[in-house]
Amino acid sequence: MMRTILGLHAGAGEHGVHSVLIDVPGHTMGERPVFRLGMFQAFPFEVCRWLAKAGDKPSGESRYFENACKIISEQFANLALLTIKEAGMSEDSIFAVGCDSTLGAGEGSRRFLAFKGWGPGQDIAQATGLSSICINSDVDLGRSNSPDHVFSYPAECLFGRENNPVLMLHLGGMIKISGFAKGCPVLNINGGPCASFFELLLNSENLNPSGVDFVSKLAVQGKLQESLLCKWKAGLARSVVLGKSKNRFDHLGFLEEIKTDIKEHEAEDLLCAAHHLVADMIKNHMEKIPDNYKAGRVIICGPHARNGFLRHLLGLNILGKKLENTDSAGIPAPSWDAFARAMLACHALDGGTLNSINSRGINRPLASFYPGANASWGKCLRWMERHSRQAG
């Protein structure tokens, strides 16, 4: 049985909501999912301006917080319905909606700190009649050693069974790397800030985040300040938490530390240095990856997979290989995060848990469920009951 799932996501470095529609077979680790359609809807300008300052105060101290939640949840619901309409489908043909349980979860985003504990899932279910499956992805990735299931599980479904190794590089709120090689465990690396870093530097209300690849265009206009780059590299070294794991990274501490630099330099120069720093972090991580994972393709995804300046600094190749993006697999790179939410919604319907994705157990359910209309929720219940009988 094929299920059509809608995925929604708004994260660090984004100024709106991405949506995807995918068809997923009954066994998600069997056949590959089929990408149908991806769309994007920008937040209203007043919400973007408020978000630029939202991380500076707790949500309770902002009179605009409840209004912002209302507008953002409407954006999610409207885009969901628009995507279904654009695909020439009806709500009855959609199995469920997958999204985050917390807005901007786990991406090191200061803009979305105000939304800690709030997500649009319940509002989506009420507005659209579609049952929402909200992925509990609000792990503090900077302080966690556990693999990032939100990234690695969908990537494994697409590329994990290929004969040759595959390295997946996600350029979203954080740099995330997953490696897949036959006979080897899944490799997961949380590699430091990316879009969350650029986002912090763009918090000026005077900058209008519009147009295609606007961050890259601003960065190209800047002049590299070597002293600034050296200072940030030293800050990164201090942000690596010494202890149980060499991979632990205090990304929020690092972002707080560099806030003072924002007032001392032009935005273009800050972004230029930030792009150089992110490119250096990526290259350093990739060079340290075990050889077993390096013999195949290198595929990038996420909102900055099409960042022209960042790709230029990476030299359009890593480890001597040309960079691909997920478009080659039929999934537009900026749509990856929404695609991941749709895939994990399917996994939750199948009865999957975090423990079935991670080798390290996490005592928390994979998703929260918000029932939609009776027909939608009944469809989900019947699927879960059927799958439970088959598993038992």
Q: Could you report the per-residue pLDDT of 123-167, keeping only the tens digit for each?
A: 999 999 999 999 987 554 444 444 466 778 889 888 888 889 999
- Contact by Cβ (8 Å): 62, 34: no
Task: Give the pLDDT of residue 390.
Answer: 61
Give tens-digit pLDDT for 34-72. 999 999 999 988 888 888 776 666 555 677 888 889 999
CA 63/CA 348 separation, integer angstroms: 36
148-330: same fold as 3-138+335-391?
yes
| 280 CB burial (10 A radius; 0-12, 13-18, 19+) | middle
Q: How confident is residue 244, by pLDDT bands cut at 50, 70 and 90?
A: very low
CA 303/CA 91 separation, integer angstroms: 28
- Contact by Cβ (8 Å): 107, 196: yes
**178, β-bridge pairs:** 168, 188
- Region 278-284: mean pLDDT is 92
Number of H helices, E strands in the chain: 13, 12
Give tens-digit pLDDT for 169-192. 999 998 999 999 998 998 988 888
- Kindly tell me if the per-residue pLDDT of 239 is higher than 90: no
CA 144/CA 72 separation, integer angstroms: 29
Q: How confident is residue 359, by pLDDT bands cut at 50, 70 and 90?
A: very low
Q: Could you identify the residue written with the tokens 């009806």?
A: 90
- Contact by Cβ (8 Å): 103, 120: yes
Give tens-digit pLDDT for 197-217. 898 887 655 455 555 678 898
Q: How confident is residue 229, by pLDDT bands cut at 50, 70 and 90?
A: very high
Task: Give the pLDDT of residue 211.
Answer: 57
Q: What CATH architecture is 3-138+335-391?
A: 2-Layer Sandwich (3.30)
Q: Which residues contact 118 (CB under 8 A, 6 or more apart)?
A: 59, 69, 102, 103
CB atoms within 10 A of CB 15: 20
Phi-psi region of 213 (alpha: psi -120 to 50; beta: other; left: phi over 0): left
Task: Give the pLDDT of residue 50.
Answer: 81
The CATH classification number of 148-330 equals 3.30.420.40
Residue 98 sits at φ, ψ, to 5 deg, of: -110, 130
The overall longest dimension of the chain from CA atoms, in Å, is: 62
In the chain, where the domains are located: 3-138+335-391, 148-330
Task: Give the pLDDT of residue 143.
Answer: 42
Task: Give the pLDDT of residue 110.
Answer: 79
Residue 48, helix vs strand vs coil: helix
- Region 221-233: mean pLDDT is 92
Task: Give the pLDDT of residue 345.
Answer: 94
E strands in 12-86: 16-24, 34-42
Quote the mean pLDDT of the chain: 84
What is each CA distance from 211 to 200, 207, 331, in whole angstroms? 19, 12, 21
